[in-house]
Every structure is written in structure tokens, then in C-alpha cells.
Structure 1
Amino acid sequence: MAEHLLKKYSAAVPRYTSYPTAPHFHLGIGADEYSSWLRALDSQHRLSLYIHIPYCDRLCWFCACHTKHTLRYEPIAAYLKALHCEIQAVGRLVSKDVRVTAVHFGGGSPTMVRPQDLIALMDALRSTFSFSDNAEISVEMDPNDLDQGRYDALAAIGMTRASLGVQDFDRKVQKTINRLQTFEQTRSVVDAIRARGVHSVNCDVLYGLPYQTLETLRDTVDKIISLDPDRVALFGYAHVPWIKKHQTMIPQEALPDAIARYRQMKTAGEMLVQAGYEAVGIDHFAKPGDTLAKAMEEGELRRNFQGYTDDSADALIGLGASSIGKLPQGYVQNMVATGEYERMAEADGLCIARGIALSVEDRVRAFVIERIMCDFSLDLSALAALFGPASLPAVEEAQQFAEGDRDGLVHLEAGRFALTETGKPFARSIAATFDTYLSNGRGRHSLAV
């Protein structure tokens, strides 16, 4: 790829796991709006739950998640007490006719939770909400936390998908990002969870890390492939030290530039495809037959705060500090600070700090951006059929983009705005041209490639 395209289109833009993106949430949405949105859910809606555990027993310097470091269990126990309060408060507002089809435990490190507490948490969810018989239960796992008791607890809660953070197996890279984790240790985790019947394993890999080279990345990807995961998420490291101060521990001069990042992304992706994985969107890979690959093939791939997903639920409820939920009417986010979250949960149950109600224009542009990110194309006729006259500005912008494109990023044919192979690596940048919020200057973002 020509270097001038990388320089031109790899500017910092949102990841578009939502639209509007989180920097544009505001204080005008609170518990009253959230309560009415929850009460409006009915038997026609399917529901996902996201449970955030914002604690780690080691602080990985690359991490941009809302998390806190602790070596004591007392803060986690106090947090879990508040989380149970929130679960009960939200559950009272959601009809039992609404079925939960997916649960995702994220963090932080959910596997820090003690076995009996994890089982009690899942029991609370099942007694509060109505679960579908085939609900997916996904858990983000830190191999350093795991022992036999935790493996058994994960089996007891019905975990169906495990997501393992790997990042990189090179020792120098690991030391620089404060994430020591051997391949043998990771392999033992995969073996243990598969022995307990887990049908799907995902591994997260990062490119763009300090001191990472094509050689070290190839070695990491080879080792990942040998684990035979069902899915691989290949993320670009987001260096945002102005948001996450601990990232200042990473020497900026050790980070690869945009061209080196692109080569790393390209090399790792080609290795996974050659190993039999199908590329899904800009940064996921899945075995043929995996539900993520099927969703892509059927045009039903979605995007949420965990990235690409085959979760087709109509609503997502976020539980825990900083969690974001999406209801048909808009987005809400819980209080980020754990202490204040605990106070709110134990006082009123609902912990909403901010959010945004979706306008018709927001819905149009959310559809456009999601389809570009998921399908690398946009059916302008389908857009018009869904939104009528409200779609006209976005349709005109797509036409203008195609007419003005001198770099071969897109083509417009038979009413379909489609990214070319040259354009696909820049899907985030192309999607950003439809984002009407970017011009107000809120939020700083990571590199697009």
C-alpha cells in the first residue's frame, strides 16, 4: 500500500463501537429516562447483559479499560454487594417477558472474583431476569487468576465462551507492557476450559505494541494458531496516555509508526487467513461455521462495546461501574468512579451518570456507520427504505464521497456504496466522514490503523 494513503487516512478517529460515541453522552439523561426505557421493553425484545468487574490484580500498562489495581479482596467484595443492589433495582423495571439471550462478564478481570461469589452473581442474574435456554455466557479471563476452583465455578455458571487476553508472547514486549504470561500457561488454560465443555475460545492479540517487530508478532500468531481458538481478535494498540495515565509507563519512542503498524496488521491477518480463519470486519477472525463468521456471511454482523458480535439482542443492559447500556431509545452509562457507583447502587439501585437519546438523524448515521464497519458496504436503497426522507443527507454524502474519491477507496454501483480492497483498512476513517459529532471537538481518539 502506498505510504501516502496511510499518512492521509490513519488519523485518530473513533472505533465506532457505538454511535453517537461515548464522548457525546451528556448529563441530561439520568435515572428517570433510564427507568422509562427499561419499562418499555416487552416480549418482542431480546436482551443482553454486560457485567463489569473493574478490578485487576496487576495493572497492564497498555490497557485503556475502566479498571483499578488491587491485591486485596475487600474492595471486590464491597463492589459485588453494590452490584447485587443494581441487579435487583434494574430487574424490578424489566418485564419477565423479556428474554436474556447473552451475558458477558468483562473487566478488569472477572476471574478475580472468588468461585462462590461468581456463582452467587450468576444465580442473582438468573433469578432476576428471564433467560433463554440457549443463552450465551461469555467471560473475559486472565490466565494468572485461574485455579481449579475458578475453573469449576466457570463451568457451574454455564460459561459457553471464554475470551483470553494474550496480546503478545515476546518477553521483552510483555515486560514493557507489564503483562507477563507464558505460552505454556495460556495453553493450560485453554485445555482446562475445553475439558469442562466450553465450546468457543477467543484469543485477543495486539499489534502496534512497544518493541514489537514482524518477527516477534509472527511467533505470537503462530503460537495462537497452535491453540486452535475459534476466534481471534487482532486489535491495534490504542496509545491514549492523555486518558489513561499509566500508559505513560510505555516509552513512546518504542512504538511502531503508522507504516509499521499497518505491516504488522497485514502480516498477522494474512497468517490467520492462511490458517483457515475468515476475516470478519476490520479486526476479527473466526473459523468457518463459527456464529461470528455466519453473521458476517448473512449480513447480520453487529458492533457493540465488545467489538464485533453476532449478538442480535434488541437491548443491552450494562451493570457495574462505567458500564454502558443501549436501549431502543438511546444509550446510558453508569457512574465511572467505583466509590460513587457503590453509593448510588446501595441508595437508589440505579447508577446512571449520563447518556444520550437517539434522534432520527442519529439512527440513520448509526446504521450507515455500522454497515460500513461490518459489511464494508452500504445499500443506499435499503437505507432509504428504512428511514425515508431522513436518509437523504447520508445518501447524498455517500454519493459525494464516491464522486470525489481519487484514491480508489470506494466505488458506487447499482445503489451500493462499497469499500474496495484498498479502502477496507480505512473503514474507520471512511465511517468517520458520516459522523456529524466529530466537528465539535469532543473526545480524542486512537489511530485508525
Structure 2
Amino acid sequence: MQNSLLAKYSGAVPRYTSYPTAPHFHEDVDCDKYAQWLKAITGDERISLYVHIPYCDRLCWFCACHTKHTLKYEPITIYLEALKKEIAAVGALVSRDAAVTAVHFGGGSPTMVRPDDLVALMDALRSAFRFADDVEISVEMDPNDLDEPRYDALAAIGMTRASLGVQDFHPEVQKAINRIQTFEHTKSVVDAVRARGVHSVNCDILYGLPHQTQATVAETVKDILSLEPDRIALFGYAHVPWMKKHQTMIKEEVLPGLEERFAQMSLAASLLIDAGYEPVGIDHFALPEDRMAIAAREGRLRRNFQGYTDDAAEALIGLGASSIGQFPQGYVQNMPATGEYQRMAEAGGLAAVRGVEVSDDDRLRRRVIEEIMCRFTVSFAELTAEFGNAVDVIVAEARAFAQSNQDGICLIEGDRFVITKAGRPFARTIAAVFDGYLSSGKGRHSIAV
């Protein structure tokens, strides 16, 4: 039965970190439109900032992020100057009464930034925006970049959450993905950030990697558990060589098949749950006292371009090349090419080149998809209270899909559309049922499991 479900519901669908998804962004959303959205942020709103550093000193072949390899620091220096100009320009358009409640440094490898430059970058952010006293500051970290001065700089900027990519500790797997990172080195990073007062550590594990087996996944999970991270993300490797050319370095014949991928995922999830972690959404796990676990239990879990979050900010502002922002009015993306981004930032500060303004139908479907991805259930009554009679079309679609589905992955319970336990691994596929754009054929996506 499980194999037949895999074959039927593991097709290529979006990850739904936004709706509409990025392939449907267009050039009608430009710097002028972006400026209007920034000016519309009111003084009582909360803001999240995402700061993108699109450089790495080694290129991991599994990575699907927007980044480029460099062994020289000069490109980073030039990029940071442009980034600070964008920060100043954006900050000038946003009400100083609006409070920044979360900052996320992503990449690439933010920890490539030299200590003095990292502190200066945070100073630029604090000069441009008003930070809440309890602001959460998270940083994606490459253990191979880190040294004592960088640890001290991370403490100086007020980092509250460290996010470490682990993937798999098995040497053969690491060699195949060009990511050499020992357990001992990783443990030293966790120890160092905790010694400096960081209260939360997140670790990423991947399944479906080349040469990966259930045994290597189990061993990696065991090692990770010994570090006692507060959160663990369990992602399936997305093999998209048509989009990320460096993934052609990974030989497809050594990738696990669909059934093996699913077995790796299921094994890892069961080990994490047995260790006391609570499942959050489709691919996160957190200790019961962690903020994300609490948000999931209380129905406050959200999903954005950083994945699952407990952040309730009304606006997510993306800063840096390729960054995506999310606003009540829609989504906006900066110029992806670093050279052109720098030219735009130096010339006028803003660097938006595309996005999408959401319609009422988009807002409704976005809510339905987020409910499926975060809570595995959709309340028709709650939707009606928010969206009125427009919900009727969603109710009809949900009832039709549940009634036609003979595989037990979803059902109607009273006024709720419910994804069953058997259907939860296929939540992305179920969410796609309510995607009004997917049939247009724009974009290629990774498999759903």
C-alpha cells in the first residue's frame, strides 16, 4: 500500500514557502511598487529581516541556494558596501515605529564575513531600523569558516540562534556532495556558541543524498541527538540540476530510489520522535519547550521563505541579491545577479526586479495551503469568518478531492478538511490541489517526498 501511495503522490510539486510560488513572479512588481509597500508598513507592525550573503568558500554540490564560490574576500567587501546602501534606502522608507522582531542571516555562508564587517553590517541594520528588545537573531553557519574572532563577532551582534547544516556525517556521502565536516568539528561549534550564551541551536539533516543509506542516516541522527539541538530540520535532497548546474557533479545512479528515500525519512523521523522531539509541519522537529514546538501546539505555526517559523511579523523584508520579501500586498524579489544587484543598490538603493501582487483569491488559497502545510487541517468555518462567501469554491474543491480519493490520505470531518496520518508525508501534493497556478506549467519542481 505504501509503495503505491509513493508512486501516486510523490510527483514534482512546489515546496510552498510562498503562494503564488516564485515561478509566477513577474516584472510588473518593480522598485516603485516595492517602495509603496515599504511606505505602507505602519508603526504598530512587526518586521522580519532576511539578509542574504551569496558567497561560499567551497561549493557544496547538493546546494540549491543562490550562491557563488570565491576564495578571495574582495568580492565580499564590494558586496557588503552595496548591501549597506540598500539597507539604508529601505530603512528610510519604513516607519521607525515599526519594530524588527527577527533577523536571519542566510546564504551562501554568512560566516565567511570577517568579524569587523559582520559587526559593521549589524550596526547598519540597527541604524536603519528599530529593533525590538527581544529580537531573535539567527545565523546560518558553516563550521569550516569559524574561528574564535568570528565566534566573538557573532556574540557581539547578539546572535540568539545558530543554524548548522550537517547533511550526513558518513565520509563517503560527504565526499560525494563536496561537504567534508566531521562530527567532532560540528560539536566544537555547538559548544563554542553555547559558551557564548546562544540559547538555541538548529541542525539540518538531509536524506536522499548520494550513497546514503538508512544506516548512515540513523548514525547521523544518533550523532546529532548527542548534541541536543533545540530544533532539527529533516529535508529531502532536491536534485534540480537543470536549475543548479553544480548538481551535475552528483551522479544520479548513486542517488537512493524513491522507496529508499521514503524509508530514510521515516526512520529518521521515528528516531527523533522517540528521542522526545515533537514533529512540526512536514519536516521539522523541536524539543517540547522550544518556541516553534509551542507555536505548533497552539496553532500559530507559519511558513515563509525560511521554512517553518513562529515569527508573526506582518512583513518580511529581504535584503541582498536574490532576496525575497513578503508583504500583505504580495512578494518582491531583488536582482539575483550580484554584479547587477550591486549596480542597482549603488545607484538608488532599491534592487527589486520582480514579484507578484496577490489577489483576494491568492490570499484565500495561500491561507488554505499554509493550513495544510502547518496544521494538516483546514476549518471551513474559520475560513468563512475571514474570507466570506469566497470560501465556497475552496469547500467544493476540498469535498470533491476527499470524496474522489480512495487512498485514505484525506477526509472531511464535520466542517474540516483533514489530512490523515497516512497522507501527511504527501502534504505538498495535497496542497497542490488548491494551487490555482500550477496547471500553467511554469517552473520545474523537486519530488514531493
Tell whether the structures are fold-level matches, with TM greater than 0.5: yes
User: Aligned to 1:76, what secondary structure does the other structure show?
Assistant: helix
The amino acid that maps onto 1:11 is: G
- Which amino acid counterpart does residue 172 of structure 1 have in structure 2? E
Give the SS at the match of 1:279.
strand
In structure 2, the residue corresponding to 1:103 is in which secondary structure?
strand
What's the Cα RMSD here? 0.6
Answer yes or no: is 1:205 the counterpart of 2:218.
no
* Cross-structure match for 1:220: 220
Q: Give the letter for the 2:121 counterpart.
A: L
Give the Cα separation in 1 of the matches to 2:28 and 2:40: 19
Give 1:60-71 correspondences, 5 Å limit.
60-71=60-71
Alignment correspondent of 2:90: 90
1:393 positional shift: 1.1
Asked if residue 160 in structure 1 is aligned to residue 169 in structure 2, the reply is no
In the alignment, does 2:40 pair up with 1:6? no
Please report how far the alpha carbon of residue 390 of structure 1 lies from its aligned counterpart in structure 2 after TM superposition. 1.7
Return the letter of the residue paired with 2:295.
Answer: A
Report the alpha carbon displacement of residue 289 of structure 1 after superposing the two structures with TM: 1.1
Residue identity opposite 1:56 in structure 2:
C
SS at match of 2:184: helix
Partner of 1:245: 245
Aligned-partner Cα distance in 2 for 1:116–1:300: 37
Partner of 2:436: 436
- The equivalent residue for 1:234 is 234
Query: Is it true that 1:301 corresponds to 2:301 in the alignment?
Result: yes
**1:82-136 residue CA offsets vs partner (Å, 9 max, x unmatched):** 0000001001100101000000000000000000000000011011101100000
In the alignment, residue 109 of structure 1 is paired with which amino acid?
S
The alignment partner of 2:93 has SS state of: coil
- Matched AA of 2:422: T
Helix, strand or coil for the counterpart of 1:276? coil
Kindly provide the amino acid, as one letter, of the partner of residue 97 in structure 2: D
Aligned residue in 2 for 1:54: 54
CA distance in 2, matches of 1:190, 1:224: 11
Which residue in 2 is equivalent to 1:379?
Answer: 379
Matches within 5 A, 1:386-405: 386-405=386-405
- State the Cα distance separating 1:41 from its structure 2 match: 0.5
Distance 1:316 1:188 in 2: 32
The percentage of counterpart residues that share the same residue type is 68
Q: How does 1:233-382 map to 2 (within 5 A)?
A: 233-382=233-382
Q: Secondary structure at the match of 2:333?
A: strand
**Structure 2 Cα separation of the partners of residues 31 and 163 of structure 1:** 31
Q: State the distance in 1 between where 2:305 and 2:42 align.
A: 23
Structure 1: distance between partners of 2:194 and 2:360: 45
Partner Cα separation in structure 2 for residue 107 and residue 100 of structure 1: 20
CA distance in 2, matches of 1:103, 1:18: 19
Unaligned runs of 5+ in 1: none
Q: Secondary structure at the match of 1:347?
A: helix
Offset of residue 392 of structure 1: 1.5
Following TM superposition, the consecutive aligned residue runs of length 4 or more in structure 1 with deviations greater than 2 angstroms are none
Separation in 1, partners of 2:127, 2:395: 46
Shift, 1:44, TM fit: 2.6
Distance 1:3 1:121 in 2: 50
In 2, distance between residues paired with 1:340 and 1:352? Answer: 11
Partner of 2:102: 102
CA distance in 1, matches of 2:88, 2:395: 44
Partner of 2:131: 131
Deviates more, 1:386-395 or 1:115-124: 386-395
TM-score by length of 1: 0.99
Per the alignment, residue 120 of structure 2 pairs with: 120
Report the alpha carbon displacement of residue 2 of structure 1 after superposing the two structures with TM.
Answer: 2.0
1:130-209 superposed matches below 5 A: 130-209=130-209
Give the counterpart letter for 1:351 in structure 2. A
Letter in 2 for 1:191: D
CA apart distance, 1:394: 1.1
Q: Which amino acid aligns with 2:210?
A: P
User: 1:413 aligned to 2:395?
Assistant: no
- Describe the superposition over 1:397-421 as per-residue Cα deviations: whole angstroms up to 9, x where unpaired: 0111111110001111120111111
Q: Count how many residue pairs are aligned between Structure 1 and Structure 2.
A: 449
Task: Give the structure 2 partner of residue 30 of structure 1.
Answer: 30
Q: Distance in 1 between matches of 2:91 and 2:416?
A: 43
* Distance in 2 of aligned mates of 1:339 and 1:429: 37
